Structure 1
C-alpha cells in the first residue's frame, strides 16, 4: 500500500521522518508499504530546522495512495493556510482509504471540513485554537491520537510515531507493531488514550521545598493514604495554610491535585489491562464508585468508556463511514 507523507516548507521534520521510519522498520522488504514524500508543487522542501528533503513528488502527479498523512509545523501561519496546500490535500484524499495528520496537520483537515462532527486532537499547545476555530470538531485536548472513521489525528511531533505504530498494528498485526516499537527503543506504542502530559509536568513549578517534597511523595505512590489532613500534618502546618500554599504555587487545591495524580495513575493502569477494582485500589481511589466519580469530574467520561475507547490502538470511536 502506498503511503503519502504530505510535506511543505517550514514543516517539522520529525512529523515526517518519525512515521516514515515506523513504516520502514515494520516492512524492511517493502512487501506491504511504499512511502512517498509529496508536496504541493514537488521538488525540494525545507523543514523548520533547516533540513531539506531534496526530492518530493508533486501532488498532482503522485497517483493513487492508500493512506495520506499530513505533517505539521511548529506554528500556525498568521494569514491562513496556503491554498495550494489545501488543494493538494483535497486531491489526495479523494481515493485514500485512510487520512491522518500529525500535530498542526489537523488544521489542514479541519479547514477542509473533514473533521466536522468528529473527534480529533493536535499538539496540546494548539488544541484550544483548533476547538475555537472549528467548533464542529470535538477536540480531545489531552490524548496522543484519535481515530474517527477513516480519519486519524495525533498530537505533536513524537506522537506521530505512536500514530504510525497504530496504523501498523491495524495493517500487519499487534506483533509487528510491538517488534517495530522495540526497534525504535520505545516502551511499546502508546495507546491513543495516553495523556500528552502528566499532572507532574502540567503543574506549575513549585518553589517551596516543603511543598515540593509533599507532592513528590504523592507522585511516588498515589495509592498511599494521602489526604489533605495527612499532608498538612506531614508538613507541620494547618489544613488552611496548606490550601493557601497549593493555591499560591500550584494554582489548585491539594484535594484536586491528589485526585488528578490518581486519575493519571488510573489511566495508565487501565491501558495496561487491569480490572477496574484493582485499578481503583492501585491508584488510591479504593472503590470503583470513587474511581468513577473522579473520572467524571476530571475527564467527563467513565473508566469503562475510557477503557473501551483506548485500550487497543485498533479501537475507533464507533463512527462508521467516511
Structure 2
C-alpha cells in the first residue's frame, strides 16, 4: 500500500473544526513518519467552495460526485448544515456509494445524521453531539443512539461526538494503523491526550443541561453537589426535601431523566474523576471523599461509567504532575 486514501466530506454549513481536527491530525502523522502516509482530501458537492458555520470559506480538493474508491477511510463532517445535507438525496447517495468502497467509515458530530440517512447506521450503536442525540434517535429509530461516549466503534463504522472529539477518534485511527508510538508523538505535538477513553462522557452532568426548573429538585441537586460524602440515599434526600421517596423519584425522572440514586452515583463518579486527574490522592481517599464506601465500589462505578478502572483513567487524564489536596 503506497498511501491510505482518506476522503473527508464537507458541505455548505459544515463545521470547520470537524474538518480540521481530522485533516490536521492526519497530516501531522504524515510529518512524523506515518508509513504508508495518509492522502487526505476534502470533497464537496459539485466541487464548489463551502462556507463553514464560522463564515470562513474552504476550497474543496475533490468533487464528491467524482470521487471513486477504493478508499481507506471515508469521514463525514458535521455542522449547522447537517440537516440540509442529510436531506440532500444526491449527497447521501454518494456517501452510501463511497462507504461500500471504503475500508473504514466514520462521522464527526452531527455528520452521524448523514450516515444514518444513508442507512449506514441501521442496527448499529452510534453517537453524535449530545445536543442532537435525542433528535437523531427520534428520526432514526433503527439506530441505537448513545449520547454519552465521545466516540463509538461498531464494526468498520465509527461515530464521534461533538466537534473536537474528532481529534480523539483520529488519534485512535492513527494508533490502529501505525501503532501507539506514532499516536503518542502526534498527541504530544497537538498538546492533547493520547487516549481519552472513547466511552468517556461527552460532558459533565452539571453542565450538560440547565439547572432543574423545579425548585425542589434544584435544592436536592445542590445538596448532592455540596455533600457528596454525606448520606445521599433516596430516603434521606426525600426526608430532607419534605416529600416521599416516590414523589422525589418522579420529579427526578421528569426533570433530570434519572432516579435520585443514579444521579448521586454519577455525581460521585464525576467528582472522583476530577480528583483523580488533578490530585495525587490515593484511590481509597478519593473514594471516601466522594461518598464511595470502598475503593472497590469506586472501581465498579468507574468501569460502569467510563469503561476503565480509576488507575487507567488517572494515567490517561492527568496532563501534569498532580497536586495533593
- Taking structure 1 as the reference length, the TM-score comes to 0.74
Instruction: Report the Cα distance in structure 2 between the residues aligned to 1:100 and 1:20, rounded to whole angstroms.
Output: 13
Secondary structure of the equivalent of 2:48?
coil
Partner of 1:191: 197
Instruction: Report the Cα distance in structure 2 between the residues aligned to 1:138 and 1:213, rounded to whole angstroms.
Output: 33
Asked if the contact 1:99/1:150 (under 8 Å) is kept, the reply is: yes
Where structure 2 has 5 or more consecutive residues not aligned to the other structure, the ranges are: 278-282, 314-325
Q: CA deviation at 1:161?
A: 1.0
Asked if the contact 2:34/2:178 (under 8 Å) is kept, the reply is: no
Partner of 1:162: 168
Q: How does 1:41-120 map to 2 (within 5 A)?
A: 41-64=46-69, 65-74=71-80, 76-77=82-83, 81-120=87-126
Partner of 1:318: none
Instruction: Report the Cα distance in structure 1 between the residues aligned to 2:151 and 2:203, rounded to whole angstroms.
Output: 13
Q: CA deviation at 1:204?
A: 3.1
Whether 1:34 and 2:39 are equivalent positions in the alignment is yes
Instruction: Report the Cα distance in structure 1 between the residues aligned to 2:61 and 2:96, rounded to whole angstroms.
Output: 18
Instruction: Report the Cα distance in structure 2 between the residues aligned to 1:79 and 1:69, rounded to whole angstroms.
Output: 14
Where structure 1 has 5 or more consecutive residues not aligned to the other structure, the ranges are: 296-301, 313-322
| Farther-moved stretch of structure 1 (180-189 vs 130-139) | 180-189
- Taking structure 2 as the reference length, the TM-score comes to 0.73
Partner of 1:3: 6
Asked if the contact 1:18/1:158 (under 8 Å) is kept, the reply is: yes
Partner of 2:241: 240
Secondary structure of the equivalent of 1:35?
strand
Instruction: Report the Cα distance in structure 2 between the residues aligned to 1:87 and 1:23, rounded to whole angstroms.
Output: 26
Asked if the contact 2:82/2:111 (under 8 Å) is kept, the reply is: no
Q: CA deviation at 1:10?
A: 1.0
Secondary structure of the equivalent of 1:152?
strand
Cα deviations by residue, 1:192-227 (Å, 9 ceiling, x for unpaired): 111011122135348999989856645xxx5xx322
Cα deviations by residue, 1:230-250 (Å, 9 ceiling, x for unpaired): xx99xxxx82369999x79x9
* 1:80/1:102 CA distance change after superposition, 3 Å: closer
Secondary structure of the equivalent of 1:41?
helix
After superposition, the CA RMSD in angstroms is: 4.1
